[in-house]
């Protein structure tokens, strides 16, 4: 159907809908079942089988498979029936692959859950009631409402619109926003770019508002028809993942060199070609840290799930790393640092404060409620307001002053609207009041007053003199000093046109918006953590400074700056002047971009909040863009790295803390994996150099890798954030992941594990009677496993365990118990002992293994205590 070629009433009729009531829920449900959800077809995911097979793409794993097959065939040809080792090795490798698939699936599900949390919603009329529903539930015939900043959720025919401009560049290639016209009708063969009476899915409302009827959803939309061209690519790896992948490859090459050396030594010592080959390849599979990027993904996904529960939804995983490095947080005042619960507390005319119950104040509130897009409805005995908090405050004050606010369209019909924009800082409507068309304007006092030529005081209209202008400024200043948000109201007859000039100044409405109770504490936490909090607002500079002082943002040596002052500065000058500036008032979204760039020019890592359509450039320019989940536009959310579902400054600070914690946990997991891998390599390499038989056989190496590398590493990812984390300075982006001596720590820990394993091997080999290689290997096998298990406990915190809490990580406790039990069972249960080439240990031998294994924990704890005392 060519919906652009019929009028709006015809389109509504053909879709069997109703402009006043919309679809009923039963009809909508039936249509949803017939047409499916309003979403584009997702990129096909690989099946579990494909993911499973992908686990065997690693070169060393393929070589190990070939070696096992050769071993199996050799057993057949030689007729010795020794198939146990190759079968068990293959089983361990397959089990490892299964664990890998589970981890990948878990990470995918976590990211899908986050995407659902940030899924767009649509404002729709169903059964005569206006409600918000997920955009995926829209069907043809739904009546939808769009305003500036919304992402168009489906193709729709306009019913009515006011000043509507839509950015359609993604669909049509046109760079300029397209002006729309609901009344127009176009030929059937009209190109999509010329259909001014339609809005299309995935485009953006840049200005104005509209009512429209949904015509097409999902793959039937214009964007759905080209969806194959827009198929989403795989999520890019985070910078940390890429760095670790490179490190893993470098370590892998080093491990392969050592494995090759071990193989050559084995051949030289006549250990047998196949056994030497199997040992070398098994060591390579166990020791090469090919799983580092996967561990990062898993720890990140677990971390962002926790953050989502704390009202911070991460849209891009790299933002988690950046959060830990944030040095400046630029926050909007209203709703983020304050409660966004506006209430009118003062009303003034050009000369003085007036009673809210008086006729002059009631007239001002009436006009303010007409030049207003918020709504009021009755719910039982109470009144429910919805819309912008500033506008709902005016609507509420008008209601309690005795005005009828429930059916303004009937009593005071609106003929025209010029929507609010952050550039103009005002909005206007034309309403019929008392049989006359009246132009009503409300907005920032300085902007509105500049457009006025007359003033109304006590019902008398006077020319506005210079003295009266000064008096208006004084009234505004006084209200700003009281930390009030101030809105001016003006009017005139609309008979002279709809231009917002030659107005009659009516007065000022002052609203209070109390700071959030938790904001001051969050500001203090920021300062302690080396992060500078900065307030950005469109309010008067006096209001901004008053509120910021209460919160602790503005201090004695701080500066405040207005948008007008920003306009007089070059980018270089601003970067120089911005260092001690803590408040920016009367700023526009364009100023926000300059503020971000100025801080970044000084080497700062900047988090910026935003909610409007014009905030998108600033959110993109910031290192971390934070969009508001409650009052933010779809455009802002799509441009952001993080969405705050409660629009709260304290949530940003909490997200920074959790971001630092996630980075810490990743560091702990990587630290643990590399240390243990180095220990395994050193033990086998040292034995080869010293001329001993290998202290571990292939099946044992692979088992240690399976048991100790998976569960403990994942458990480290669940570690709680350390209490001291917000007393540290931000993580410098220029600082390497392995800075501050981390490489030295990893190497020394690997050396300790390797030495203890060799010591256990030597004790078992020489101290219990005749040379017993099986006993030596058993003790080395157990010591290596338990060393690595205890080392994971050691990695839990930079603080000694008695301070961090020995049993505070329940998942780590379970991992340690399970890994210990599984490892012990391999030695204790005879059939398993035969498979793994070990022998039962006596109590004395178990004590020696335990004592040697605990050395790892003791050394680590001693290092922490010494480090703590030297700080």
Tokens 């127009």 appear where? 184
Helix (H) and strand (E) counts in the chain: 32, 26
b/e code 772-809 from CB counts within 10 Å (16+ = b): beebbbbbbbbbbbbbbbbbbbbbbbbbbbeebeeeeb
Q: What is the rounded distance in angstroms from the CA atom of residue 260 to the CA atom of residue 848?
A: 32
Is residue 332 part of the annotated active site? The answer reads yes
End-to-end CA distance of the chain, in Å? 74
Q: Which of 30, 789, 674 is nearest to 296 (CA)?
A: 674
Query: How many beta carbons lie within 10 A of that of residue 559, not counting itself?
Result: 14
DSSP 8-state class, residue 465: -
What residues contact 849, with CB distance under 8 A and at least 6 apart? Answer: 760, 779, 782, 783, 786, 841
Token pair belonging to 530: 């080396």
Phi, psi of 148 (to 5 degrees): -50, 130
Q: Which of 357, 356, 370, 354 is nearest to 457 (CA)?
A: 354
Query: How many beta carbons lie within 10 A of that of residue 549, not counting itself?
Result: 16
User: Regarding beta strands 642-644 and 581-585, do their DSSP bridges make them parallel or antiparallel, or are they unpaired?
Assistant: unpaired
Catalytic option among 332, 513, 611, 634? 332
What number of CA atoms fall less than 13 Å from residue 687's CA on the CB side?
A: 30
Q: Which residues pair with 561 in a beta bridge?
A: 584
Q: What is the rounded distance in angstroms from the CA atom of residue 601 to the CA atom of residue 618?
A: 15
Q: Which of 802, 784, 560, 818 is nearest to 710 (CA)?
A: 818
Query: Is residue 552 left, alpha or beta, with left meaning phi > 0 and alpha meaning psi from -120 to 50?
Result: left
Q: Which residues pair with 46 in a beta bridge?
A: none
Q: What is the rounded distance in angstroms from the CA atom of residue 32 to the CA atom of residue 140?
A: 9
Phi, psi of 512 (to 5 degrees): -100, 145
Q: Which residues pair with 344 in a beta bridge?
A: 511
What number of CA atoms fall less than 13 Å from residue 656's CA on the CB side?
A: 35
CA dihedral 566, 571, 574, 576 (to 10 degrees): -170
Is the separation of the CB atoms in 22 and 124 below 8 Å?
yes
Q: What is the rounded distance in angstroms from the CA atom of residue 48 to the CA atom of residue 691?
A: 45
Tokens 């000064």 appear where? 470
Is the separation of the CB atoms in 211 and 144 below 8 Å?
yes
DSSP 8-state class, residue 780: H
CA angle 518, 522, 526 (to 5 degrees): 175
Query: Is residue 837 left, alpha or beta, with left meaning phi > 0 and alpha meaning psi from -120 to 50?
Result: left
Is the separation of the CB atoms in 155 and 199 below 8 Å?
yes
Query: What value does the CA radius of gyration of the chain take, rounded to a whole number of Å?
Result: 34
What residues contact 506, with CB distance under 8 A and at least 6 apart? Answer: 349, 363, 364, 367, 456, 488, 489, 490, 491
Tokens 């970067």 appear where? 575
DSSP H helices, 640-697, are 649-690
Q: What is the rounded distance in angstroms from the CA atom of residue 491 to the CA atom of residue 455?
A: 10
The residues annotated with a catalytic role in the active site are 332
């Amino acid at each position: 159907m060519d919906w652009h070629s019929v009028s709006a009433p015809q389109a509504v009729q053909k879709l069997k809908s109703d402009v006043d009531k919309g679809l009923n829920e039963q009809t909508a449900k039936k249509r949803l079942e017939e047409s499916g959800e309003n979403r584009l077809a997702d990129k096909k995911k690989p099946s579990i089988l494909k993911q499973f097979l992908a686990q065997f793409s690693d070169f060393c794993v393929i070589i190990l498979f070939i070696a096992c097959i050769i071993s199996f065939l050799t057993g057949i040809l030689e007729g010795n029936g020794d198939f146990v080792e190759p079968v068990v090795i293959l089983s361990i490798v397959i089990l490892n692959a299964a664990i890998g698939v589970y981890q990948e699936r878990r990470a995918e599900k976590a990211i899908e859950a986050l995407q659902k949390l940030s899924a767009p919603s649509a404002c729709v009329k169903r059964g005569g009631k206006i409600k918000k529903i997920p955009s995926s539930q829209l069907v043809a015939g739904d009546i939808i409402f769009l305003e500036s900043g919304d992402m168009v959720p489906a193709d729709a025919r306009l019913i009515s619109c006011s000043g509507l401009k839509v950015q359609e560049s993604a669909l049509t290639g046109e760079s300029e926003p397209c002006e729309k016209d609901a009344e127009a009708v176009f030929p059937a063969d009209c190109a999509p770019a010329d259909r001014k009476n339609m809005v299309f899915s995935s485009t953006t409302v840049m200005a104005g508002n509209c009512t429209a009827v949904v015509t097409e959803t999902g793959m039937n939309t214009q964007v759905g028809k080209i969806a194959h061209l827009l198929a989403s690519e795989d999520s890019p790896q985070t910078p940390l993942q890429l760095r670790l992948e490179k490190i893993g490859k470098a370590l892998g090459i080093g491990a392969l060199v050592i494995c090759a050396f071990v193989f050559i030594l084995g051949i030289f010592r006549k250990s047998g070609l196949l056994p030497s080959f199997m040992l070398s390849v098994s060591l390579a599979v166990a020791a090469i840290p090919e799983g580092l990027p996967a561990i990062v993904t898993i720890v990140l996904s677990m971390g962002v799930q926790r953050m989502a529960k704390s009202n911070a939804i991460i849209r891009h995983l790299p933002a988690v790393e950046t959060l830990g490095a944030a040095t400046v947080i630029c926050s909007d005042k209203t709703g983020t640092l304050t409660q966004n619960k506006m209430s009118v507390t003062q009303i003034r005319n050009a000369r003085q404060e007036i009673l809210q119950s008086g006729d002059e104040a009631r007239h001002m509130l009436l006009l303010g409620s007409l030049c207003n897009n918020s709504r009021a409805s009755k719910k039982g005995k109470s009144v429910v307001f919805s819309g912008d908090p500033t506008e709902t405050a005016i609507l509420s004050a008008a209601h309690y002053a005795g005005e009828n606010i429930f059916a303004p369209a009937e009593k005071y019909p609106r003929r025209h609207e010029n929507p609010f924009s952050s550039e103009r800082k005002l909005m206007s409507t034309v309403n019929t009041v008392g049989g006359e068309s009246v132009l009503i304007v409300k907005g920032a006092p300085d902007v509105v007053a500049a457009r006025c030529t007359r003033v109304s005081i006590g019902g008398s209209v006077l020319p506005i003199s210079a003295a009266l202008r000064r008096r208006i400024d004084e009234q505004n200043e006084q209200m700003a000093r009281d930390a009030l948000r101030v809105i001016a109201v003006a009017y005139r007859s609309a008979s002279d046109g709809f231009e917002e000039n030659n107005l009659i100044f009516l007065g000022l409405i002052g609203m209070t918006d109390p700071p959030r109770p938790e904001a001051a504490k969050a500001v203090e936490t920021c300062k302690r953590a080396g992060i500078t909090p900065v307030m950005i607002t469109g309010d008067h500079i006096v209001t901004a400074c008053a509120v910021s002082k209460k919160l602790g943002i503005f201090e004695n040596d701080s500066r405040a700056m207005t948008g007008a002052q920003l306009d007089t500065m070059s980018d270089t000058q601003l970067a120089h002047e911005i260092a001690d500036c803590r408040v920016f008032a009367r700023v526009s979204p364009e100023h926000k971009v300059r503020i971000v760039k100025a801080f970044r020019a000084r080497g700062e890592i900047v988090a910026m909040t935003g909610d409007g359509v014009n905030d998108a450039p600033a959110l993109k320019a910031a290192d971390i863009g934070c969009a508001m989940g409650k009052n933010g536009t779809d455009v802002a959310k799509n441009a952001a790295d993080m969405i705050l579902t409660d629009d709260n400054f304290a949530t940003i600070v909490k997200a920074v803390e959790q971001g630092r914690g996630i980075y810490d946990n990743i560091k702990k997991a990587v630290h643990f994996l590399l240390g243990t891998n180095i220990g395994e390599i050193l033990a086998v390499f040292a034995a080869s150099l010293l001329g001993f038989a290998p202290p571990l056989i292939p099946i044992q190496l692979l088992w240690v890798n399976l048991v100790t590398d998976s569960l403990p590493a994942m458990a480290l990812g669940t570690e709680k954030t350390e209490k001291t984390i917000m007393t540290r300075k931000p993580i410098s982006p220029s600082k390497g992941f392995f800075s501050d001596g981390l490489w030295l720590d990893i190497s020394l820990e690997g050396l300790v594990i390797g030495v203890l394993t060799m010591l256990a091997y030597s004790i078992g080999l020489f101290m219990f009677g005749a040379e017993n290689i099986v006993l030596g290997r058993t003790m080395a096998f157990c010591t290596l496993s338990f060393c690595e298990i205890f080392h994971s406990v050691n990695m839990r915190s930079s603080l000694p365990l008695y301070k961090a809490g020995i049993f505070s990580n329940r998942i780590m406790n379970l991992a340690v118990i399970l890994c210990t039990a599984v490892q012990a069972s391999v030695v204790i249960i005879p059939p398993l002992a035969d498979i793994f080439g070990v022998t039962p240990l006596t109590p004395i031998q178990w004590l020696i293994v335990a004592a040697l294994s605990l050395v790892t924990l003791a050394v680590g704890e001693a290092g922490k205590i010494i480090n703590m005392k030297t700080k």
